Chains A and B, each alone.
Chain A
Amino acid sequence: MAPAIVLEDVHKRYRIYRERYRSLKEIVVHRRFGDWEDHWALRGVSFEVEPGSTFGLVGPNGAGKSTTLKLIARILAPDRGRVTVRGRTAALIELGAGFQLEYTGRENVYLNASLLGLSRREINRKLGDIVGFAELEEYIDAPLRTYSSGMYMRLGFSIAIHLDPEILLVDEILAVGDEAFQRKCLEWLEGFQRRGGTIVMVSHSLGTVREMCTRAAWIEHGDLVRLGPPGEVVGAYLDQVRESRLDQQQERRAHAPDRPDIELGEVRLLDGQGRPARILEPGEPLRIEIPYRCHCRVESPVFGVMIHRNDGVLVHGTNTREGGLALDSIGEGGVICLNYPSLPLLGGTYLVTVAVAPASDLGNPIDHQEQRYSFRVRDHGAEIGVVSASHDWRLEPDRSPHLGRSRV
């Protein structure tokens, strides 16, 4: 079968204006439209997307992923090369772009759906489904300015998926509405995949790309770096990200004006038996050992530890001063230990940051290692969230007879 999407040597250039002339006088005086610099957002990108497949685009911010998506959506036109798209396309890129706040939800459905290419008759037929999926039956005749941002996005999403697309373009899926609605959207997407729909998605969540995609492309600085099975592409991309991050840290260290007064060594994460803690059970003990060397005398330094989950949630942070460990003089070297007798975390990957700072200025560490160490907690699926809070459930007899009957 012919590919659903073909990009052939696609180039896209943006003009970054230092100065722009828009009045006749300026244009006559300067004999040009402005003073700009060309920025090539894409330089000769070629790939094909098979019908029925899910294609993921990964890469750092500003790499050209969204530009690629906008070219496929035909919002932008290439400066060189060609983009061919076979099939009805819906873009979940700018949900609700073009909504009119003064119009009711219903009027906006008509205007927006016709912007996206539906005829009036098709909209008449689908109006019920669109409103039903967005769960907005009660509000559909209220002006849009009375909608919450969640309702706004829900309506935009619902209109887009009711275009009966064969190709779906998705940018950073689904920050739409509450969790229940997000799940509904994901289910819809999975159904769309099963029905043979083609998806092109941009995501920073590499896990999503690995799970959902059948192929992936890594784009960086407007170049296609790698194309292939998602596991391979994501793996290669991650390796490079990790390397460049370590490079940066090393470079920073090498370029530091002089070595820090207190230098932190290689931190050890240990489990209850004193073995390196890579995978823990919820509630297991954890011991963090921070070796250090002092190169000159520092008055009462403070050591700190932070634990983040890998999606950025700060799970726990503490320091020696809050913990009541006074370090008036710490000698030439030693090991600072932080003991968690039981770490009540649920399944996930966690990153450890360590730092040492002068007591007078905690925000300005003498030395630190940011999220350099990680451990995993096994997921048992019984509870959800971050903490494994101890709890019990029980059924008790009703002790307040009025409660059941009272009316609000």
Chain B
Amino acid sequence: MPHRYYAARTSVIEVFGSLRLLFDYRGLIYNLAIRDLRLKYKRSTIGVAWSLLNPLLMMLIYTIIFSVFLRTVVTPGRPYWALVLAGLLAWLFFSNSVGSAPVTFVHSGNLVARVSFPIESLPIASVLANFVNFLISLAILLVVLAAIRLPLGPSLVLLPVILLAQLAFTIGASLLVATLTVYLRDLEHLIGVGLTALFYLTPVLYPLDPASLPRGADRIIPYLKLNPLAWFLDSYHAVLFYGVWPSLAQFLLMLGAAALALVVGYLVFLRLRTRLPEEV
């Protein structure tokens, strides 16, 4: 017989109880994610193709700007567009998820305030819907990379680990943002601006490799490496573009960041959950 508490303070028992409840509601998370995906594509005529076309168009623009006009990034022996595409797909998963996180509780206010269910399902399902998109486009990218015979190495086996780590990181960040936005409405706009800045500060369009970058970049690279997202993007580039193993230290940092984000996001959510139904 399920035995559930609801107490004023967050206790260890409650953390585990909440996690178990969330597991019981996996069917809901699935349904919500499907709903998200369907709402996204229902009204557009070419449907799912949009989620592929968007990164392709961006890739085209960035490739023209940075490797034709500006010639800032050089990747000898490998096509620059493949680096851009690998980075963009991973980045878009993160930024679409975190960018839409602020509204996940606020826009479902009637549900949050009126129905008893693990409300963290809402941001989690939204991230999962984006993740499914990401996986589809990633599969197509892999086919294309195979078709152009880009030499990739055995490090490709790490791809699932990197994907799961980024998923955990993104869920943690989205949960945090979704919760805080209930109390701080203009976070929605701040997140938009912040993501634009972060896009250029994260090695999406360029590798963290001094040899590929203009002179003087090597002085900035150590600072760029302080950004946890850089660890993820660098790993994607290593596995999907250069075909090498990512550095061990950075890989471990990445896993640590993923775990930390998940724990912090969930604990902050649990701490502030009490008033959420009244504040949305």
Q: Which residues of A pack against B, CB within 8 Å?
A: 11, 14-15, 22-25, 27, 33, 71, 73-89, 91, 93-94, 97-98, 100, 110-111, 114-120, 123, 166
Contact = CB atoms under 8 A, between A and B. Distances in A.
In the A-B complex, the 6 residue pairs with the closest CB atoms: A97-B114, A114-B28, A22-B185, A94-B114, A119-B27, A23-B186
A114 B184 contact: no
Given A79-B274, A87-B1, A120-B30, A24 B114 contact: no
B273 A77 contact: yes
A408 to B, nearest CB: 41
B110 interface: yes
B278 A76 contact: yes
Nearest to A91: B116
Contact of A86 (B1, B24, B190, B277): B1
Contacts of B117: 115-117
A116 B278 contact: no
B184 A111 contact: no
Nearest to B6: A83
Nearest to A82: B7
Given A77-B273, A114-B27, A120-B30, 11 more contacts: A71-B6, A74-B116, A75-B277, A77-B6, A84-B5, A86-B4, A94-B115, A97-B115, A111-B35, A115-B28, A118-B27
Nearest to B42: A102
Interface string B1-14: 11111111000000
Nearest to A4: B1
Contacts of B183: 22, 33
A82 B114 contact: no
16 contacts: A15-B275, A23-B186, A24-B187, A24-B190, A75-B113, A75-B114, A77-B273, A77-B274, A78-B8, A81-B7, A82-B7, A87-B2, A93-B114, A98-B110, A98-B111, A117-B25
B247 interface: no
A392 B211 CA distance: 104
B143 to A, nearest CB: 31
A75 B111 contact: no
Contacts of B187: 24
A78 B186 contact: no
A117 B23 CA distance: 10
B54 interface: no
A197 B105 CA distance: 34
B152 to A, nearest CB: 37
B136 to A, nearest CB: 22
Contacts of B31: 110-111, 114, 120
Contacts of B1: 86-87, 166
Contact of A78 (B6, B32, B111): B6
A110 B31 CA distance: 8
Contacts of B24: 117
A89 B184 CA distance: 33
A88 B4 CA distance: 10
Nearest to B4: A85
A317 B278 CA distance: 45
Nearest to A72: B6
A23 B274 contact: no
Contacts of A73: 116
Given A77-B273, A91-B116, A115 B111 contact: yes
Contacts of A82: 5-8
Interface in B157-200: 183-187, 190
Contact of A75 (B4, B28, B115): B115
A100 B39 CA distance: 11
Interface in B69-126: 110-111, 113-117
Contacts of B274: 77, 79
A87 B278 CA distance: 25
Contacts of A33: 183
Interface string B22-56: 00111110111001000000000000000000000
Nearest to B28: A114
A66 to B, nearest CB: 12
B4 to A, nearest CB: 6
Contacts of A98: 110-111, 114-115
A77 B112 CA distance: 13
Contacts of A166: 1
A333 B278 CA distance: 59
A88 B1 CA distance: 8
Given A76-B277, A97-B111, A86 B2 contact: yes
Contacts of B8: 11, 77-82
Contacts of B35: 100, 111
B191 to A, nearest CB: 12
Contact of B4 (A74, A76, A91, A97): A74
Given A94-B114, A120-B27, A24 B186 contact: yes
A83 B6 CA distance: 5
Contacts of B110: 97-98
Contacts of A110: 31
Nearest to B5: A84
A114 B32 CA distance: 9
Interface string B140-155: 0000000000000000
Nearest to B21: A117
Contacts of A11: 8
Contacts of A91: 116
With most chain B CB atoms within 10 A of its CB, the pick from A88, A119, A166 is: A119
Contacts of A89: 116
A76 to B, nearest CB: 6
Contacts of A87: 1-2
Contacts of B273: 77
A84 B3 contact: yes
Contacts of A85: 4, 6
